Amino acid sequence: MEPFVVLEDVAVPFDKPDVDTDQILPARFMRRPRTEGYDQFLFRDLRFRQDGSEDPEFVLNQPPYRQARILVGDRNFGGGSSREQAPWALLDYGIRCVIAADFGDIFNVNALKSGLLPVQVDIAVCARLRQQLHERPGAVLRVDLPSQIVTGPDGATYAFRIDAFRKRCLLEGLDDVGLTLRHEAELDAFERDYREKFSWLFPERS
């Protein structure tokens, strides 16, 4: 997992509230192998028309925001059903941080475990940031995880909170597998000791 330290990049204003996980990643694409990538399915039914062409009205299809790595939403981002593919789709598209007034609980956990930083700030702050992004298409936000500070296009700063353990994992680029592998030596030692104590459970193969 790529570490998240400081991200200073183009931000996209996403005005729609109550963006559930089925809008982020429609259920019909959930069986795709992880290795194929999910970027093409992000907001599939919002980004594209029924004939497969892009909807030019959708914000991510507009030139100033195509390369955005930060998304500024409204309230209740990522509510609905549990699916880890929703943060995968955002990450595969290139988005590393979502700022919103609140998040679906399961989406929040899946995002943190996947390397996507969900930043919760007051709904008035979300509205202020989105307004500035609309007024200055292609404007940049700065998200400083060590300091837990978001800096808007106008230079105003906003603090956010994050669980200390999840913060450390993001800073060090540790997903659940990476975190477990940090204890590989201890796990190997335990396994050797266990096999010695209970050797009768592991008969020699002829």
Question: What's the pLDDT at 53?
Answer: 95
Tell me the one-letter amino acid at 41.
F
Question: What's the pLDDT at 98?
Answer: 98
Residue 109 has pLDDT above 90, yes or no: yes
Q: What is 6-173's CATH number, 3.20.19.10, 3.40.710.10, 3.40.50.300, 3.40.718.10?
A: 3.20.19.10
Residue 189 has pLDDT above 80, yes or no: no
Residue 100: strand pairing partners:
120
Question: What's the pLDDT at 159?
Answer: 98
The DSSP 8-state label assigned to residue 204 in this structure reads: P
How many Å apart are CA 206 and CA 1, to the nearest integer? Answer: 42
Q: What is the mean pLDDT of residues 155-174?
A: 96
Q: At which residue do the structure tokens 């030019």 appear?
A: 56
Question: What's the pLDDT at 138?
Answer: 96
Question: What's the pLDDT at 77?
Answer: 98
Question: What's the pLDDT at 31?
Answer: 86
Q: What is the mean pLDDT of residues 187-191?
A: 77
Question: What's the pLDDT at 191?
Answer: 80
Judge contact between 8 and 140, C-beta under 8 A.
yes
Q: What is the mean pLDDT of residues 98-119?
A: 97
Residue 150 has pLDDT above 70, yes or no: yes
φ/ψ of 6, rounded to 5, equals -125, 130
How many Å apart are CA 113 and CA 166, to the nearest integer? Answer: 8
Question: What's the pLDDT at 205?
Answer: 61
Tokens in use for 206? Answer: 């002829």
How many Å apart are CA 107 and CA 182, to the nearest integer? Answer: 26
Tell me the one-letter amino acid at 60.
L
Q: What is the mean pLDDT of residues 192-206?
A: 76
Tokens in use for 72? Answer: 């500024």
Judge contact between 26 and 45, C-beta under 8 A.
yes
Domain positions in the chain = 6-173
Tokens in use for 32? Answer: 């795709």
What's the pLDDT tens digit per position in 17-65? 999 999 999 999 998 888 888 999 999 999 999 999 999 999 999 999 9
Mean confidence (pLDDT) of the chain: 92
Residue 2 has pLDDT above 80, yes or no: yes
How many Å apart are CA 200 and CA 65, to the nearest integer? Answer: 63
* CA nearest to 98, candidates 179, 178, 21, 177: 21
What's the pLDDT tens digit per position in 175-188? 766 666 666 777 77
